[in-house]
């Protein structure tokens, strides 16, 4: 089942269902939808035009997106994001022999995350890893193509991770699953921490993140909030 929330598609698949589709031979490009992604879909038309493809799966990430979906009578089976998908993909990669490529984050964070993942999943082949500070996208795509991974995770800012991620997905035929995982590498590396469950439940994980990284995130969340209320206002009063 697919609906639209403020003009952005949402699919109703659990994490297990998505991974089952991958194991059954489907190629999937994962998009995690939170408030920031809702806003970007309206601000940057490249997202809606590029990702309007049959391989794209749009899953609920943010609690506020889940709330807006419920207002439309849509109750997604699950809410999950980058950290959950990384852990689950590493679990099945060990069973299936899938190779994984990690792209993004600062070099020190990436190296620590890679170390943690290797310790937790010693049977998984990490085919390659590249931090998020590079000048040539072509060089990165060529490196990924040479190493022929089955799964690619991008820890880059949006919309770069979606736009570059889909370009790589199109060009590297070995890829079965590609996902932009946001700050997952930072959490895995221990440089930032996920909000406690009760804070996530009440919809204030964004505040938890701002308190950890105020210089980077305060401005983003402030303007995302203004944009969200404007989008809701336009839809409520049909003002376009």
| 49-101 per-position pLDDT tens digit | 778 788 999 998 877 788 888 877 888 777 777 788 999 999 999 999 999 99
Coil, helix or strand at residue 79? coil
What mean pLDDT is predicted for residues 177-189?
92
Share of the chain above pLDDT 70, in %: 82
Average pLDDT of the chain?
85
- What's residue 239's pLDDT? 46
Distance CA 161, CA 106 (A): 15
Q: Which of 43-47, 131-135, 156-160, 217-221 has the lowest mean pLDDT?
A: 217-221
Helix or strand (DSSP H, E) at 3: strand 2-5
- What's residue 67's pLDDT? 83
What is the torsion angle, in degrees rounded to the nearest 10, for the CA atoms of residue 187, residue 33, residue 135 and residue 144?
80
The better pLDDT of the pair 11, 212 is held by: 11
What domains are there in the chain, each with its CATH number? 2-189 (3.40.50.2300), 197-237 (no CATH)
DSSP of 165-216: HHHHHHH-TT-SEEEE-TTHHHHHHTSS-PPPHHHHHTT-HHHHHHHHSHHH
What mean pLDDT is predicted for residues 192-201?
67
Is residue 131's pLDDT more than 90? Answer: yes
> CB-based contacts of 25: which residues, under 8 Å, 6+ apart?
176
The DSSP 8-state label assigned to residue 98 in this structure reads -
The better pLDDT of the pair 69, 120 is held by: 120
Is residue 232's pLDDT more than 80? Answer: no
Give 204's pLDDT tier (boundaries 50, 70, 90): low
Give 141's pLDDT tier (boundaries 50, 70, 90): very high
Is residue 126's pLDDT more than 60? Answer: yes
Q: Which of 32-36, 64-68, 78-82, 186-190 has the lowest mean pLDDT?
A: 78-82
Give 203's pLDDT tier (boundaries 50, 70, 90): low
CA of residue 78 relative to chain centroid, distance: 15
């Amino acid at each position: 089942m697919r609906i639209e929330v403020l003009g952005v598609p949402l699919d109703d698949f659990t994490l297990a269902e998505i991974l089952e589709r991958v194991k059954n031979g489907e190629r999937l490009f994962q998009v995690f939808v939170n408030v920031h992604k809702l806003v970007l879909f309206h601000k940057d038309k490249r997202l809606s035009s590029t990702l309007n493809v049959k391989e794209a799966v749009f899953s609920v990430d943010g609690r506020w997106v889940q709330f807006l979906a419920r207002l439309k009578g849509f109750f997604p089976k699950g809410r999950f994001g980058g950290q959950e998908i990384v852990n689950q993909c590493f679990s099945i990669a060990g069973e299936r022999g899938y190779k994984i490529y990690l792209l993004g984050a600062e070099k020190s964070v990436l190296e620590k995350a890679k170390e943690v993942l290797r310790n937790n999943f010693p049977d998984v082949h990490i085919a390659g890893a590249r931090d998020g500070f590079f000048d040539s996208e072509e060089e990165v795509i060529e490196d990924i193509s040479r190493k022929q991974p089955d799964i690619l995770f991008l820890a880059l800012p949006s919309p770069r991770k979606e736009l570059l991620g889909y370009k790589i997905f199109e060009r590297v035929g070995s890829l079965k699953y590609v996902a932009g995982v946001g700050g997952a590498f930072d959490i895995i590396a221990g440089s930032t921490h996920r909000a406690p469950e009760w804070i996530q439940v009440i919809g204030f994980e964004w505040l938890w993140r701002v308190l950890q990284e105020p210089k980077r995130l305060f401005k983003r969340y402030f303007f995302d909030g203004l944009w969200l209320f404007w989008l809701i206002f336009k839809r409520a009063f049909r003002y376009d």
